[in-house]
């Protein structure tokens, strides 16, 4: 049989106290949302529910705030994800090429921005100068490129075997060659038929002999 020491009781009590402190604000918000505003004003800390009212939820639903908030969340999430993936993937693919001019300077600048930040005031001044305040762009464009994800994608593109790239180039070259040959044959056959109709009158056997 395992005996509990005073240290075990102290640790359990401390963890229970932390759990109560964590849950208490959520409990307070929940019971306050169903309380009468007058009862909330009378009590400094509304711990035990003394009234029930749905006035807060009526104001919330009638004002249209929930619909606007959901629409903003969907627009920012979808557009931000698409822009972030597009810009990050394109930038990572270009920077993964060792033959790209200025690649070392760009990578140094990217790593520098990852380690050091300008702060809140320069960030706000930049957003204000670009006229992005009070628009969806302020939630999408400043975070269009994530430095950490960019470096991960760069390493991913570098890990692709060269045989895959050469195989892809060979497939593209073969496809373009076959398409060009088919187009040339089609053009040649069409030109030959047009000459047949020009040389021989309608209803003669020369057309069949020439176009066969």
* Average pLDDT, rounded, for the chain: 78
DSSP string covering 89-152: HHHHHHHT-TTSTTHHHHHHHHHHHHH----HHHHHHHHHHTT-TTSTHHHHSTTS--HHHHHH
Q: Please calculate the CA angle 147-150-153 and round it to the nearest 5 degrees.
A: 155
Q: What DSSP element (H or E) covers 158?
A: helix 147-158
| pLDDT tens-digit series, residues 127-163 | 899 888 888 889 899 888 888 899 999 998 888 887 7
**Distance, CA of 60 to CA of 106 (rounded, Å):** 48
pLDDT of residue 207: 44
| pLDDT tens-digit series, residues 37-60 | 887 777 767 777 788 888 888 888
pLDDT of residue 68: 87
pLDDT of residue 200: 47
Q: Which two tokens stand for residue 92?
A: 């990572």
The model's pTM: 0.56
What share of the chain in percent tops pLDDT 90? 21
What share of the chain in percent tops pLDDT 70? 74
Confirm if 97 and 103 have CB atoms less than 8 A apart: yes
pLDDT of residue 177: 52
SS3 content of the chain, % helix, strand, coil (to 5): 75, 0, 25
pLDDT at residue 181 tops 50: no
More confident residue, 185 or 148: 148
Neighbours of 171 (CB within 10 A): 10
Nearest of 89, 84, 93 to residue 158 by alpha carbon: 93
Confidence of residue 210 (pLDDT cuts 50, 70, 90): very low
pLDDT of residue 175: 54
**Distance, CA of 43 to CA of 21 (rounded, Å):** 20
């Amino acid at each position: 049989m395992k005996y509990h020491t005073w240290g075990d009781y102290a640790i359990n009590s401390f963890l229970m106290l932390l759990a109560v402190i964590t849950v208490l604000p959520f409990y307070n918000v929940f019971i306050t949302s169903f309380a009468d505003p007058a009862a909330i004003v009378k009590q400094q800390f509304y711990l035990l529910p003394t009234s029930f009212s749905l006035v807060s939820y009526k104001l919330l639903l009638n004002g249209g705030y929930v619909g606007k908030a959901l629409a903003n969340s969907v627009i920012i999430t979808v557009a931000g994800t698409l822009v972030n993936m597009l810009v990050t993937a394109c930038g990572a693919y270009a920077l993964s090429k060792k033959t790209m001019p200025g690649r070392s300077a760009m990578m140094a600048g990217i790593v520098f921005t990852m380690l050091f930040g300008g702060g809140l005031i320069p960030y706000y001044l930049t957003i204000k100068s670009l006229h992005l305040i009070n628009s969806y762009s302020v939630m999408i464009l400043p975070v269009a490129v994530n430095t950490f994800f960019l470096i991960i994608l760069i390493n991913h593109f570098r890990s692709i075997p060269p045989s895959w790239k050469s195989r892809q180039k060979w497939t593209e070259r073969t496809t373009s060659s076959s398409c060009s040959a088919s187009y040339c044959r089609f053009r040649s056959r069409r030109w030959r038929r047009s000459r047949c109709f020009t040389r021989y009158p309608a209803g003669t056997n020369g057309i069949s002999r020439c176009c066969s």
